[in-house]
Amino acid sequence: MLDGKTAVITGSTSGIGLGYARAMAEKGANIVINGFGDKDAIEKERAAIESEFKVKCVYSAADMTKPDEITGMIKMAEDTFGAVDILVNNAGIQYVSPIEDFPDAKWDQILAINLSSAFHTIKAAVPGMKSRKWGRIINTASAHALVASPDKAAYVAAKHGIAGLTKVVALETAQHGVTVNALCPGYVWTPLVEAQIPDTAKARGITEEEVKRDVLLAAQPTKEFVTVEQVAAYAVFLCSDAASSITGAILPIDGGWTAE
């Protein structure tokens, strides 16, 4: 389905981003993975994508806070594969603090990674997509692009911002064969989430099951985590011809969270 296409996925060395990379490779796309982490572990994931799915996969260490590295990554992808057909803006971090104590540097960093990086990737990739009359841009937003929670000022502002950016670029590219959408996951079962469960259980004196149900999934009516595979499958669908009329959409995948 994606044979011959190239997908650049920011923040794809773990979690949801790695899920997108593997799902798109499975459909035949060549992949640029990006993000931080242990060098050997990243190389292992890169090589696994190539050998399991018989596609090419290259790694970019571009830092999503640095505009010149971001545009360099898009150029590297175009030079290597001839095109960026699919762009997934997924890199993201979180910081939790009441507004009066929220560090200025954390605000700047979250806005840079979770929002401004998508501006820079999109700006660099759209000309090629328009000229080839085909493109798919998928932004990982969050349920926090639609609703707020306390103590997450920068994250919620950035995620609402990316919803706005999604709509604007969708309008600008609507007649050029390019779609631009935002996926809004609720709580997704990623290594990041999994790792905090034992500590939270210990800190609150409750069981790990209670942490999942009463702390993490308090807002999620299904009381089930969304899976990486479900989010990745949604993104693959958005790359299909069947989804070519879906653009500028802010799409929840949140177990009913934003229905409340």
Q: Between residues 109 and 244, which has the closer beta carbon with respect to ligand NAD?
A: 109
> Closest approach of Cβ 129 to ligand NAD, in Å?
22
Q: How far is the CB of 76 from ligand NAD (least distance, A)?
A: 14
| Residue 21 vs 55, nearer CB to ligand NAD | 21
Q: Which residues bind ligand NAD (CB under 6 A)?
A: 11-17, 34-37, 63-65, 90-93, 113-114, 140, 142, 185, 187-188, 190-193
Catalytic-role residue among 20, 155, 187, 234? 155
Nearer to ligand NAD, 146 or 239 (CB): 146
Min dist CB 75 to ligand NAD, Å, is 16
Question: Encoding tokens for residue 47?
Answer: 């090589």
Q: Select 166 or 190, whichever has its Cβ closest to ligand NAD.
A: 190
Q: Shortest distance, CB of residue 33 to ligand NAD, whole angstroms?
A: 8
- Would you call 20 a catalytic residue per the annotation? no
Q: Are 256 and 221 in contact (CB under 8 A)?
A: yes
Looking at the annotation, which residues are catalytic? 155
